[in-house]
Structure 1
């Protein structure tokens, strides 16, 4: 995009903002004169919302059977709502420009854990606060995570059926293809639909962090669970809202805003088969005052690794292998806000984390890495500072100016042994990110069905990567950066809204967004999105969305050093070659890469019937057409010479010039059993990064929830989630379309979980059933079935609210995950350094018992 074009578009946004906002700060909300007659409560709330241009969000049970009293006098919108709610068990709070109706009793507040969509203002699916997003959403809050026995965000996200354990995650084995997953430094990323950690945007309080290691993913393990309010997950393409990387969706981790007091927590857990002994200690404190507040959380964790000798299915097949790394971590988070003057609020989020992980593998059946193998200790340091200023520039418009400075440094120190000879290396992936953004949101006008609202703005972001190996110099390090400028517009327009509670068509809301991003040297991308939300009078809601999304190439894909690796020809599946023949594998970065692109659409049906207002069923169909996917086109090097689909990527009996061209400027590794001799090269396999792949992804998500009051027995909240996926991929011209979902290392066709929480006074009991479907191993000519994995978890919590100070605010939890100690099925391996199971889908934890105790002071 030229500078002239950029400036002209910027001018349009600036004029639009000037036309809707006054230069001075807004006064406190204006009081209006009211004269409303007695009427149904839902009609009264809608009338107040229309008059004041506020979104008033309430569940159906809040208004069913209630009449609102007459409203006469001078009140603000919030005061007016409180008056019409008198005599009910419901109250109103204002949040993010919207008014939220929630029940006064604590029991229904606990119900929010299992049906947060009804009572929380979900903001991630839209840049306009308080509006209904046409995209499907999933929300899980901290209490739900604790009820399920989770001790970290990583455990919670990997348990969701829509997520995958692949990508950048701890425990990923060496035999998992690089395009599917990796484990450097033990970081945890979010990988929706199994499309990769770099195809899901992860936000902290709405802002981005620095990327982790070489992939374009975000490490969430540095975020203390004690400081988290909830996770909001958009399972739909969202580049029109958030830009690059939102192919599979967006995950926004929302921090606790107003916290008062001090809470300490101690946690201990271990796998009964050995290893994975975890300790965690945290302190969370905060306070509020009339014009602000803050929360400060510190978290220390220690875990021992899971070793192959501790698992019967791996002891003989993979001696000396670390199946799951241990770690030591220190995390600290600060979040605060302060009203500077009426209408102006300053807030800031700060995150700092340190983590050390240790893992090893042997390369020989001796099982001792000190003879032949590798031990790697990785040190990761994460820092993020995100300030924000929010201005109320009029009664209906708000402007936010925000910035982010973030770093993520992962230093891997490796001891590499070859026939007991030690070589030491230090490899660093040093990432840095900087961004500034301005966004205005507010009401344009009202056509009678409700306020038409808009959000518009733009920003600048720059990412840096410095990757180097202290053993290898001569220009082999990466020092690269990529900046981009972007502008966006979103409009939310109510088209139909009925005041008649008996009408079939209650409301129809249309939503449209477009975003333009300019990546110098790569290209510019415009991504639109359209959606609609239709509500009926029978507790039915329908959502539909369509849009374009994209992902810019990572700095590593663009600039990583070309590599040339030599192996015995048999490693590539070569047969019939003379003895001593080797193959040369050529891979690495490609500066000519272009953005990946996708077309996404979803359709959702949500049923929350009036006869059962505490029940909810949601069914979503999703479709993704993904093209120009950046891949290394040779998926399994063991088939490079035996499978004809790779023929256009192979040069047999290469000439000397071809060999020299493959070696020119490349980092050379001789992994063959003999000394290097160019005359022995029988084939070159070309597998540099390329915009080669096309993928089709289709599936269905289903969620159920129900809350029942069982009188003196307490109450029960039931929930169930399932995700079904079909996906296919074509990697290159000669390769046929191949199945991804349901095959080794890719998501199984079906994942699901179901459970309930029985709440009886201070006691809660939560059993959970988790199902991960089976996959097929198609790496060899014969196909083998890898069995599914079903686990049962059980967590008991005792929350003591005693008048005795020593017991007041105490929370005790005992949890058992995978009670029946189900184990992953064994798969074929060719080297002892490979995990003998599908480590992208199944866990080596086995039965895991944990205990925690926390105290609020």
Structure 2
């Protein structure tokens, strides 16, 4: 991993290339028109549209070369970028993200099978992804209209390098570049052919197989590149990881589901007036139906259902891609390019057999489930009386059944990505000055279908449980047996209530752009350089759930169709102003402005200013201040209501572990909660959705830093070159589009009472349980974060032992505060783990490279500092009680905060060996092991499904060993 301001082809401090660039800026205008200086001028660096070599180093840009990408041993762009120290929590294939994750229309959820990137912990939708400087289309995974880019749509094999701008850049690139920019540069100049084969596997399985072929060439006036790739990743069951074997690690079945294969029945017996919570013994089956009350027992922890063993630790993912680009030189100064890509992804997510919750405590918000009437004349009803959920004679509180007879839920995604881009590039002389221009057109589409097997039709369940006459009126209806234990649901019953559910979504992007760059006139310190341009974009997207879902008959997470579009016209200009140049010292100031006119909300203007002060050939000081904005996405604006099932602790109810309510009794009574009410179901359905009144997010970003290459460490007996780089960053976002954290909203509601604005959208059944929770998007109050990067690169002189290079990259997060529109601080913070998302105080990557002739090796350490999370209801269990008392972790020495679970600091070790064989034009063999010491991640209580944070830690499946061979012809 390199930064262009540090790694240079020269052995001199800051490199010969930089010195040539500075010298070029001081040459007379006539000299700049010569061939060699113009070649330098054509350099374009991510973060600026001005094509001049001097621009390099103005902003903090991290560059991953093709060789460095290969050294990671990874086959996914997202997995590679997510290992950067400045990366935050985002989706990848370690998330088994369908089922209870739901289908949020704000683009922040599910994305089943996709992989995204987050910079500075500001969310993937605030990172702009470019390919060759052109916007890439947002993802669609048949679960909404996303605001993020799926990096699995871009094959690794076509990448020449990845440039990551760690700075706000809305004035340069427009919306979405709030946290930074990821610019993926594709392979272009390649003569000959190459073939690569890759195989990797974890200790616990999960094979990854990959292969690609490339072919390129050039002539007098053209170049071309063609590539095809295939990657197949096998899945791993959650049963391979011990802590994932129970719903919440270390707590046994306490937090398991009350929807069990034998069923749970909570009702008031109309004959005795007694309220009972009962089930049949585990694994029992009564062919002739159970006798009530003799065959029933009280429902307890031992009867809860372990849904975890059905989950996936690693999700299967298959990707096929073809890419081609060509460039034709019409004249010496004009060329035409064309690029095209097709990428196909097939992926799978799996969840436990879908639970059926019926009655007022079901909390699904679906009337077929919440307002249920289970008739006494249903031939399988063992109680001898009607079970009524509402109205006169209401006696049913909850019926929960896990129909394992129908199998696990399996969500298959088929995702196609198309891209076509073309344009003209050229240069011309005006007087003694050279100008560079380009015209571009791009069209891209991401289309996804998701097919779900294992879900249920709740309307048909309602009908099959109701009066027998109503069921018999439908010739397809089969009465349903939810009472007789495991095996009571026959195939005939399943055929009636179990459909195949198909969802579809797409995102489309079309853009035209034009840019021009050059020197306007000479100033005492050099020429004033500029860039200017225009861009028109049109975005449209839709989400089309299955007709069953739209009709409200889907037992799973309901959602409604979404469709919308908008277009934007933009104009920008950028200036690089040389203030003075004396000897080795030079000061440049850069300014940029952009005006964007959106069809949805009108105009927005952003600006950026920066400086680059080269004190000497050893020391560079730089800084930027940028205004940014992010326009609400199609899903955020037009998304219809959708539901996801959140695991929440209701402070007004007795906990699953029998713990007393934590909210004031008088407030709970005012909210309609009866004394002694228990929380029977921790999965509470939360509804989210778009808001057409959303305004753009506004941001201010600041960076300040230096690059220091001391002369005393250059060309000496102990050091060939030593580089230090420091960057301070600060981001402030106002009006962030977000929904308040659901647990935080519930806690605030139950502490403030019915009149609190936090109680808006939360309603309760007569039993006291929540039966609806509306958590809509809003323009949030603010998000503020700051920290700094500190990197050291040390290249040692070559010796008889070979050459060595040390690269140490660090990111320190000083502050992270998110405050909602009412001024309430959200739980996310530095050193805190919250619901699959963490912000470590310190992230570090240390790499040691060795090369000797045709042999090479690399040892990498990846470190994440410790985290804490609220124990919640798990505070009394050993997994949390060890860290419940304030003090220090005896193993790591990390501080422990009372009342929290301590996730200890974690370090992974990776090793890679390489050999360049003298066959053909060069054959490279690579053998590597990631996570050499088979380090398991720390246990996370609040993380869904597998008991660890899949966005922050390696897969807990042991070592990952791989071999890679690349042949060139």
TM tier, smaller? 0.7 to 0.9
| Higher share in strand | 1
Q: Partner of 2:779: helix, strand, or coil?
A: strand
- Aligned mates of 1:810, 1:566 — CA distance in 2: 51
CA offsets, 1:21-47, max 9 Å, x none? xxxxxxxxxxxxxxxxxxx99998855
CA offsets, 1:796-835, max 9 Å, x none? 1111235xx4xx41110000000001111222269xx722
Mark the CA change 1:637 to 1:415 in structure 2 (over 3 Å): closer, same or farther.
farther
Give yes or no for the alignment of 1:771 onto 2:863.
Answer: yes
Alignment counterpart, residue 748 of structure 1, candidates 830, 834, 840: 840
Q: Which moved more, 1:174-183 or 1:357-366?
A: 174-183
- Structure 1 residue 642 displacement after superposition: 6.6
- Aligned mates of 2:310, 2:31 — CA distance in 1: 60
- Structure 1 residue 415 displacement after superposition: 1.6
The match for 1:814 is: 927
Matches within 5 A, 1:726-737: 726-733=815-822, 735-736=824-825
Q: Partner of 1:711: helix, strand, or coil?
A: coil
The match for 1:13 is: none
Mark the CA change 1:55 to 1:850 in structure 2 (over 3 Å): closer, same or farther.
farther
CA offsets, 1:286-342, max 9 Å, x none? 011222211111100111112101112213442110122111110111122111122
Q: Partner of 1:276: helix, strand, or coil?
A: strand
The match for 2:691 is: 590
Alignment counterpart, residue 436 of structure 1, candidates 493, 512, 521: 512
Mark the CA change 1:570 to 1:761 in structure 2 (over 3 Å): closer, same or farther.
closer
- Aligned mates of 1:428, 1:314 — CA distance in 2: 31
- Structure 1 residue 168 displacement after superposition: 6.3
- Aligned mates of 2:132, 2:544 — CA distance in 1: 32
The match for 1:850 is: 962
Q: Which moved more, 1:212-221 or 1:459-468?
A: 212-221
Mark the CA change 1:648 to 1:683 in structure 2 (over 3 Å): closer, same or farther.
farther
CA offsets, 1:185-224, max 9 Å, x none? 3222221112111100010000012110232122222323
- Aligned mates of 1:44, 1:630 — CA distance in 2: 46
- Structure 1 residue 571 displacement after superposition: 5.7
- Structure 1 residue 355 displacement after superposition: 0.6
Q: Partner of 1:164: helix, strand, or coil?
A: coil
The match for 1:398 is: 436
Matches within 5 A, 1:641-790: 643-644=750-751, 647-651=756-760, 684-725=772-813, 726-733=815-822, 735-736=824-825, 738-744=827-833, 745-778=837-870, 780=872, 782-790=899-907
- Aligned mates of 2:407, 2:541 — CA distance in 1: 32
- Aligned mates of 1:161, 1:54 — CA distance in 2: 45
- Structure 1 residue 685 displacement after superposition: 3.4
Indicate conservation of the 8 Å contact 1:648/1:734, yes or no. Answer: no
Mark the CA change 1:135 to 1:567 in structure 2 (over 3 Å): closer, same or farther.
closer
- Structure 1 residue 50 displacement after superposition: 3.0
Q: Partner of 1:154: helix, strand, or coil?
A: helix
Give yes or no for the alignment of 1:278 onto 2:208.
Answer: yes
- Aligned mates of 1:487, 1:258 — CA distance in 2: 32
Indicate conservation of the 8 Å contact 1:132/1:533, yes or no. Answer: no
Mark the CA change 1:750 to 1:370 in structure 2 (over 3 Å): closer, same or farther.
farther
Q: Which moved more, 1:427-436 or 1:842-851?
A: 842-851
- Aligned mates of 1:54, 1:492 — CA distance in 2: 19
Alignment counterpart, residue 451 of structure 1, candidates 522, 527, 536: 527
- Aligned mates of 2:22, 2:541 — CA distance in 1: 51
Alignment counterpart, residue 51 of structure 1, candidates 18, 27, 32: 27
Alignment counterpart, residue 722 of structure 2, candidates 607, 615, 621: 615
CA offsets, 1:610-651, max 9 Å, x none? 333422110110011111011111333794577537942214
TM-score (norm 2): 0.71
Mark the CA change 1:493 to 1:169 in structure 2 (over 3 Å): closer, same or farther.
farther
Q: How many residues align?
A: 732
Indicate conservation of the 8 Å contact 1:488/1:513, yes or no. Answer: yes
Alignment counterpart, residue 159 of structure 1, candidates 83, 89, 93: 83
Indicate conservation of the 8 Å contact 2:46/2:183, yes or no. Answer: no
Give yes or no for the alignment of 1:353 onto 2:343.
Answer: yes
Indicate conservation of the 8 Å contact 2:422/2:441, yes or no. Answer: yes
Alignment counterpart, residue 450 of structure 2, candidates 399, 402, 412: 412
- Structure 1 residue 735 displacement after superposition: 2.0
Indicate conservation of the 8 Å contact 2:455/2:501, yes or no. Answer: no
- Aligned mates of 1:645, 1:264 — CA distance in 2: 65
- Structure 1 residue 452 displacement after superposition: 0.8
- Aligned mates of 2:404, 2:591 — CA distance in 1: 57
Give yes or no for the alignment of 1:94 onto 2:201.
Answer: no
The match for 1:148 is: 72
- Specify every segment of 5 or more residues in structure 2 that has no aligned partner in the other structure, as ranges: 1-15, 248-307, 356-400, 457-481, 483-488, 552-558, 655-667, 715-720, 874-898
- Aligned mates of 2:685, 2:77 — CA distance in 1: 42
Q: Partner of 1:649: helix, strand, or coil?
A: helix
Give yes or no for the alignment of 1:835 onto 2:946.
Answer: yes
- Structure 1 residue 652 displacement after superposition: 8.8
Q: Which moved more, 1:366-375 or 1:245-254?
A: 366-375
Q: Partner of 2:710: helix, strand, or coil?
A: coil
- Structure 1 residue 370 displacement after superposition: 5.8
- Specify every segment of 5 or more residues in structure 1 that has no aligned partner in the other structure, as ranges: 1-39, 57-74, 82-92, 99-120, 660-676
CA offsets, 1:826-851, max 9 Å, x none? 22269xx7221122212325310000
- Structure 1 residue 699 displacement after superposition: 0.4
Indicate conservation of the 8 Å contact 1:775/1:785, yes or no. Answer: yes
Mark the CA change 1:389 to 1:52 in structure 2 (over 3 Å): closer, same or farther.
farther
Matches within 5 A, 1:368-517: 371=406, 373-394=408-429, 395-417=433-455, 421=494, 422-471=498-547, 472-473=549-550, 476-498=560-582, 500-501=583-584, 506-517=585-596
Mark the CA change 1:397 to 1:565 in structure 2 (over 3 Å): closer, same or farther.
closer
- Aligned mates of 2:762, 2:413 — CA distance in 1: 41
The match for 1:8 is: none
- Aligned mates of 2:508, 2:78 — CA distance in 1: 23
TM-score (norm 1): 0.79
- Aligned mates of 1:436, 1:480 — CA distance in 2: 20
Indicate conservation of the 8 Å contact 2:848/2:859, yes or no. Answer: yes
Mark the CA change 1:608 to 1:377 in structure 2 (over 3 Å): closer, same or farther.
same
Alignment counterpart, residue 34 of structure 2, candidates 68, 76, 85: 76
CA offsets, 1:693-729, max 9 Å, x none? 3111010111111212222322112101011112111
Indicate conservation of the 8 Å contact 1:694/1:731, yes or no. Answer: yes
Indicate conservation of the 8 Å contact 2:196/2:964, yes or no. Answer: yes
- Structure 1 residue 737 displacement after superposition: 5.7
Indicate conservation of the 8 Å contact 2:744/2:827, yes or no. Answer: no
- Aligned mates of 2:652, 2:633 — CA distance in 1: 31
Q: Partner of 2:310: helix, strand, or coil?
A: coil
- Aligned mates of 1:820, 1:746 — CA distance in 2: 23
- Aligned mates of 1:816, 1:737 — CA distance in 2: 39
Indicate conservation of the 8 Å contact 1:123/1:129, yes or no. Answer: no
The match for 2:384 is: none
- Structure 1 residue 757 displacement after superposition: 1.2
Indicate conservation of the 8 Å contact 2:47/2:59, yes or no. Answer: no
Indicate conservation of the 8 Å contact 1:628/1:691, yes or no. Answer: yes
Give yes or no for the alignment of 1:251 onto 2:251.
Answer: no
- RMSD between aligned residues: 3.2
- Structure 1 residue 780 displacement after superposition: 2.4
Q: Partner of 2:420: helix, strand, or coil?
A: strand
Mark the CA change 1:373 to 1:829 in structure 2 (over 3 Å): closer, same or farther.
farther
Mark the CA change 1:640 to 1:47 in structure 2 (over 3 Å): closer, same or farther.
closer
- Aligned mates of 2:624, 2:74 — CA distance in 1: 33
Indicate conservation of the 8 Å contact 2:107/2:148, yes or no. Answer: no
- Aligned mates of 2:646, 2:909 — CA distance in 1: 44
